[in-house]
Structure 1
């Protein structure tokens, strides 16, 4: 199936999805590292690396993750060790822990459910209108 790329900024839908997933995986890795760094769950106060914790927390709260690599570069400039840790964690997560097969299954299920709901609603509205007109 040919999909025109003009609607995706000149890239394929798969490339666009990969960009979105990169941001998602980077966010998940950042949240995992933030939780690991807090240790006791007391935030920066209980963190073994309070400076790194604050840098990561700031980046998550104040910087856009739309471009995950730009976000990571900015974080790495603020705190090199935390940036490297996020880079390693996101690759490890995507390589070993992310359930790619489950993603496909959930996406197809969501599409199927969405299609059925849309068709039922459209049919009900169409047939409801034609019944009303006959009466």
Structure 2
């Protein structure tokens, strides 16, 4: 049997691990995360986490795109509920269109709806109006932030609790949960 020789080469420390603290303003963030600039203005230099691998867009831009599609979905639901009660013919047209067109891409859906017929164009314009109004006036942005924080905290706590229970061999009876 042939033996395989492996040599291990020493790897230098990555450049962002400094043996002495530095006071650089660029590059890897220092602590505290926000520091006052030396100018007389009240501007803060804040450092946030770098998110590698997103390439073309920030996480916020990706979330914004998903919310954009979601607002389209909500607008279609609102318009369809309105049409159902006062314009059954337009409601039927919208439902038939929904059977053959996906709502996954909101802009593609609206573009297709606009080009279907003049009555469909009116539906598309109504959906665009509702989508904009819902996003600007009715969506509870503060509630979204609060719920996102709460969901992350509760999920983290649950996962850590499950892991501790699994690895410590403590039963749920003993913990009171």
User: TM (normalized to structure 1)?
Assistant: 0.80
- Greater share of residues in helix: 1
Q: How many residues align?
A: 119
Q: Does 1:75 align with 2:75?
A: no
Larger RCO (CA within 8 A; separation ≥ 6):
1
Gaps in structure 2 of 5+ consecutive residues = 1-48, 171-177
Which structure would you say has the larger Rg? 2
Cα offset for 1:5? Answer: 3.7
Across the aligned residues of Structure 1 and Structure 2, the Cα RMSD in angstroms comes to: 1.8
Question: Within 5 A, what are the aligned runs for 1:88-127?
Answer: 88-127=129-168
Cα offset for 1:88? Answer: 0.6
Gaps in structure 1 of 5+ consecutive residues = 40-46, 130-135
Distance 1:120 1:4, change over 3 A: same
Deviations 1:81-124 (A, max 9, x none): 00000001000000000000000101110000000000000111
Give secondary structure in 2 for the equivalent of 1:66.
coil
Are 1:29 and 1:86, in contact at CA under 8 Å, matched by a contact in 2? yes
Deviations 1:3-53 (A, max 9, x none): 1244xx6321111111111111111111111111111xxxxxxx5261x32
